[in-house]
Structure 1
Amino acid sequence: MSIHLLFLALIPALGWGMMPILSKIMGGKSEEQLIGTTIAALLFGLIFSLTQQVTYQLSVFIICFLSGAFWAVGQYFQFRALEKAEVSKAMPISVGTQLAFVTLVSGIFLLEWTSVFVALLSILALAVILVGVLLVTKTSKGKGAVAKQVILFLCISSAFLMLYVTITSYFGIHGVQVFLPQSIGMFGGGIIISMKKINQLRLKAITRNIVTGSSWVIANTTLFAISSSLGVGVTYSFSQMSLLVATYGSIILLREKKTAGEKRSVYFGTLVYVVGVIGMSLLK
């Protein structure tokens, strides 16, 4: 992996790591956060498509549209989870489950595991990553663990976010053709999900969360730009350094409280997590 690709691979980590923090700062209901985010994505998709004069095949458009719709469902459930849990507790679980789903699917169905040896090393690296996630989310005795409903929301979220990432690569779609139809699918999915509460949504909260969406746009654009060079499994796993940004960012910016023991667990857990992610990226 070149230094150039290394730095590009870190940009999605920064964008996705800041996204849940920004959603907390901007506030609003899950539906308002979702629509605000998708507006930012749609604006980018429209501007990019018009300036680059991108042409589309119908089949490509439909697949990318579905990718965006899958994202809308996944992101909605992540926002629901974040309503009920701190960023530093929810996001490591979200990142860990996303990594598990994407790594297994990209290895088995996208044929990124070129041999049994590579498959075994990938699974070993994934196990190390999940151990790191467990350490980061460890709580002191007497403190409330993450609620089962939050874990359920995060698992549903990760399943759909996995589909959003892998479906375009499964059909060999990369680069400039992805952004507009994907953003239309995101916006359409967000509107459908929010339909029951559409009259309760506040324009001010939606507008504020366009900032949240801008963070996602930066991450997503970079991810899809480099996935054809590094592979989905490696690119996506490397981008999940977002766990570090979300965990430490929430403690610093959102002032989420940790005991001394929990801080030690976070420090050690993130170190283990980084070792696992680097190991997985080196398999490329």
Structure 2
Amino acid sequence: MNILIALIPALGWGLNPLLISKLGGKPVNQTLGTGVGALIVGLIVQLAVRPSVDTGTFWLSALSGAFWVLGQIGQYTSYSRMGVSTTMPISTGLQLVGTSVIGVLMFGEWAGDGAKIVGFAAIVLMIIGVALTAVTDSPDGRNGLMSGLVILVPTTVGYWVYSALPKAVSASGTAIFFPQMLGMFLAAVLYALISGRGRAFKERTSWLNAFAGLIFGVSALAYIFSAKANGVATAYVITQVSVVISTLGGLLVLHETKSSRELRLTIIGLVLIVAGSVMTAFLG
């Protein structure tokens, strides 16, 4: 049963990019819909569990959720520019590298020289993996890649902050869950207003994308329970299956195309990214 719980976020986060792409709409519709769905799950959890959290932790957690939206905007925008099968391994690799470095520099993780050596070797593997998945042979592919990276790389900072802020507070995952989901919703609304797409609130695709938000919220909640039941390292490693699902799904379900050389390098890159994440997960 514990392993089944661990598979929920892996499947949910892996299938979500495919669902988002199938549902369609612009990044603002996708972001707004995701925020709505996530808030619904957050409200249900809050009403059912009623965890207590102090004001400072509440708003810090909400800020964390808001930064997640920044990362998600970059990811959604990149889907249309370079495809899910290229975006997801690059995005995942950048997230893993950034959060690992922040963990070492700000929170003293990887204590000891041996852990640091293994950890930074893992980072090198992930960087190589990202580079391999980004290889493209066609001029159009290279143009799309550069266009996607321009937005994906800087917005990944949002994911880094989303992962780092909860480490600065002493509260359970269920306690910070609702404020994070609330922060996601508020940031999504703000994005829609600032981008001049207020009509997105009335567009059908925004509400359809709420299903993706529901899946994200349930997956995030399942990860909290998985970490408690299986341990953080095991739960974290299993979630990395999501990048394999989303990447291969982009090719098989969304019919994105890669040359035989690109596909071979992408698979090798995925192996390196997952291997690097496994190495970092057990360093503590």
TM-score (norm 1): 0.89
2:113 corresponds in structure 1 to 116
- After alignment, is 111-120 or 35-44 more displaced? 111-120
Of 104, 111, 121, 1:107 maps to 104
Aligned residues: 280
- Alpha-carbon separation, structure 2, partners of 1:148 and 1:283: 34
Q: How much is the aligned-residue C-alpha RMSD, in angstroms?
A: 2.4
Of the three residues 68, 71, 74, the one matched with 1:74 is 71
Distance 1:118-1:234 versus aligned 2 partners, 3 A rule: farther
Aligned equivalent of 1:264:
264
Residue 211 of structure 2 aligns to a residue in which SS?
helix
Structure 1 segment 1-284 matched on structure 2, within 5 A = 4=2, 8-140=5-137, 142=139, 144-145=141-142, 146-195=144-193, 196-226=196-226, 230=231, 239-284=239-284
- Write out per-residue CA displacement over residues 190-246 of structure 1, whole angstroms, 9 at most, x where no aligned residue: 111110211255431012101211221133223344557855x88656633322111
Identity, in percent, stands at 27
Distance in 2 of aligned mates of 1:73 and 1:273: 23
TM-aligned CA distance change 1:106 to 1:245, over 3 Å: same
User: What is the Cα deviation at residue 7 of structure 1?
Assistant: 5.8
> Which deviations, in whole Å up to 9, do the C-alpha atoms of 1:62-120 show, x marking residues without a partner?
11111111112221122122222211111111111111111111122122211122112
Instruction: Kindly indicate whether the alpha-carbon contact (under 8 Å) linking 2:65 and 2:181 is maintained by their aligned counterparts in 1.
Output: yes
Q: Quote the Cα distance in structure 2 between the aligned partners of 1:273 and 1:182.
A: 27
Tell me the distance in 2 between the aligned counterparts of 1:235 and 1:170.
Answer: 21
Say which is worse superposed, 42-51 or 261-270, in terms of deviation: 261-270
Letter in 2 for 1:64: S
- Residue 46 of structure 1, CA deviation: 0.9
Residues 110/224 of structure 1: CA separation in 2 closer, same or farther (3 Å cut): farther
Partners of 1:44 and 1:262 lie apart in 2 by 38
The one-letter amino acid of 1:221's match is: L
Unaligned runs of 5+ in 1: none
Cα distance between partner residues in 1 of 2:40 and 2:256: 33
Give the deviation of 1:9 after TM superposition. Answer: 4.7
